[in-house]
A and B are shown apart, each in its own frame.
Chain A
Amino acid sequence: MASARVTLVDYLHLEPEPHLVAQECRHCGARFFDRRNACARCGRSDFAPAGVDGAGELRAFTIVHRAAPGIPVPFVSAIVRTDDGTWVRSNVVNCDPTPEAVKLGMRVQLTTYPVGADDDGTEAVAFGFEPT
């Protein structure tokens, strides 16, 4: 049975290559990932989709050892600034969850990974950033 795929969040697009799509304010250029009512910077409400660079720098992280039930720990929570200046909240993946392996300022690249399937066999795909 061929299983369908969905993305964990709607701003992750898988084709042609996995990438994030922001809502960019046409007036001031501020970028957002959520459904918008208006721009939090300038108050206008005219947006256009904008592809986000997959490469960036790790600007902050924490290694989470205690989380809500059902969330596997440890994991590396991260704030990444991509090379086009977009800020993204994500995990660092494919990297030991230790202070020795995770370094502030390190170069990272967007990647995707499966996070399980629903009862219909539809697989959800999440994104993370891995060291390069």
Chain B
Amino acid sequence: MAVQISPDSVWVLGTHMTRFARYPDRDLIDLASEGALGALADGEVTVADIDVLACGALFQASGAVGQRLQKQIGQTGVPVYNVANACATGATAIRTVMMAIRAGEAEIGLAVGAEQMGKMGLLGGAATKKEKKVFEPSGRYGAVTGVDGYLGTETMPGVFAQAGMAYAHEHDGVGFEQFARVAYKNHLNSTLNPLAQYQKEFSLGEIMESPMMSYPNTLLMCCPTGDGAAAVVLVSGERLASMPSHVRKRAVKVSASVLTSDPFTEDCQVQPDVNTLTRNAADQAYETAGVGPEDLDLVELHDCFATAELIHYDNLSLCEPGGAGEFIDSGGPFRDGATPVNVSGGLISKGHPIGATGVANVYEITTHLRGEAGDRQVEGATVGLAHVIGLASACGVHILEKAAA
């Protein structure tokens, strides 16, 4: 399918990511600079060509990271948007640049996602206060002390475990082994990705027997914390059409860019509903792009935990309704399956420096569509989808298509 360059379309011109890892000797701006400078060079533009900058770094969201980045790579005076949207922060940065280009305020824009987490350990859930002396109701639930551990769990492995178990309750053929198989696949995929934080294969048995975090998620079924950055340069179709042919050939079309939040559902205030907003985002993206899930050559989806990836097969319509267990058991999302999912190794093994994740997924898809993914290349890929979700919730879906030959 040849994609033409229409003036009102938006394209990925350049992209880059750091390896995800732990960088105790570098700071957040070092990482963001590497991502940004790499993406500019990849797109054969300079910071002087950038009309708008959007920057996402969740744990430093109040730290003017975009402006601090400019002070290292170029203070051109263009508008900067510092964005924060949970684990969808990076996707939100991309979407912010998209909107500026679509609105005609920019021709070329730069979106950067970066995070430095180090060894933060378990996310979600706060330590119970030790100094409490007198029980006095406070907060919106009139709680006299912390409720984590008494009224359910607030840890991320636990919250996403429950989301997976809710799916297991409603559909046959889903259990501990199916969830573990997701992690097996992603660890295996990561051995082909030099940019992954971990690049080690584990057997299904090793995964199931690794320390239990929150049943059914074991340690090897949870993403690590880490550091890293990724960036994309976006360009309007009108501007791209005037660029040299070798640049046009490597450009990748953003056929859909969607951001959703969770609509009200009966259970959404007692357990995060990661499903409805993902379904809504995917449905909108497929309609906008004019492609269906059967057209996708690869998908990078938000596997913060193995339980999450499994339910998103269904949410993104990659399998029959209710058929996520059968889909993984039959090899559908493996590299050689019907729809390869997380060939990068996913968050579980590639890593999840939060602000960078939603940009790194677009880097991954773009790199495959250009045929430049090396050992992990999905041969002949022309259409891909990148998905992220952050609790609260925010969901970003981007569909990308290969340029006309």
Q: Bin the interface of chain A by size.
A: 35 or more
The answer on a CB contact under 8 Å between B270 and A68 is: no
Contact A65 B212 (CB under 8 A): yes
- Contact indicator per residue, chain B 116-138, by CB within 8 Å of chain A (1) or not (0): 00000010011110101111010
**Bound complex: CA A104 to CA B174 (Å):** 12
- The answer, among B151, B162, B268, B271, for a CB contact under 8 Å with A91, is B151
Contact, CB under 8 Å: B135 / A87: no
Chain A nearest CB from B163 CB (Å) reads: 7
- In the complex, which residues of chain B have a beta carbon less than 8 angstroms from the beta carbon of A79? 152, 162, 166, 267, 270-271
- CB atoms of A62 and B141 under 8 A apart: no
Minimum C-beta distance from B147 to chain A (A): 6
Q: Which of B137, B157, B211, B267 has a CB less than 8 Å from the CB of A6?
A: B137
In the complex with contacts A6-B135, A6-B137, A115-B126 CB distance below 8 A? no
Enumerate chain A residues within 8 angstroms of B284, measured Cβ to Cβ: none
> Are the CB atoms of B147 and A105 closer together than 8 Å?
no
The distance in angstroms between the C-alpha atoms of A9 and B268, with both chains bound, is 19
21 sample A-B contacts, Cβ–Cβ < 8 Å, listed by A number: A8-B150, A9-B144, A9-B147, A10-B142, A11-B141, A34-B141, A34-B269, A60-B271, A62-B165, A63-B212, A63-B214, A63-B215, A65-B215, A67-B149, A67-B155, A71-B128, A79-B166, A90-B151, A115-B145, A124-B145, A126-B150
Contact bitstring B263-293, A, C-beta under 8 A = 1, else 0: 0101111110000000000000000000000
A122 / chain B contacts, CB cutoff of 8 Å? 134-135
Would you call B155 and A6 a contact (CB within 8 A)? no
Q: A104 to B169, alpha carbons, bound, how many Å?
A: 6
Interface digits, A62-96 against B, CB 8 Å rule (1 contact, 0 not)? 11111111111101011101000101111100000
Q: Are A89 and B215 in touch, CB under 8 angstroms?
A: no
Contact A68 B125, beta carbon cutoff 8 Å: yes
- Contact between A61 and B162, CB atoms less than 8 A apart: yes
**B148 with A118: CB separation less than 8 A:** no
Interface residues of B (CB under 8 A from A): 122, 125-128, 130, 132-135, 137, 140-145, 147-153, 155, 157-158, 161-163, 165-166, 168-169, 176, 211-217, 264, 266-271
How many A-B pairs fall under 8 Å by CB?
165
Q: With A40-B264, A122-B134 in contact, do A115 and B150 touch (Cβ < 8 Å)?
A: yes
CB distance from B148 to the nearest CB of A (A): 6
Q: How far is the CA of A73 from the CA of B264 in the complex (A)?
A: 32
Once the chains are docked, how many angstroms separate the CA of A41 from the CA of B169?
26
Which A residues are in CB contact (< 8 Å) with B151?
8-9, 89-91, 126-127
Contact B122 A68 (CB under 8 A): yes
User: A99–B142 Cα gap in the complex (Å)?
Assistant: 32
Contact between A60 and B132, CB atoms less than 8 A apart: no
User: B155, B165, B266, B269 — which one has the most chain A CB atoms within 10 A of its CB?
Assistant: B165
B-facing mask of A106-122, CB < 8 A → 1, else 0?
Answer: 00000000010011101
CB <8 Å contact, A78 and B127? no
Asked, given contacts A9-B141, A63-B215, A119-B134, whether A87 binds B267 with beta carbons under 8 Å apart, the answer is yes
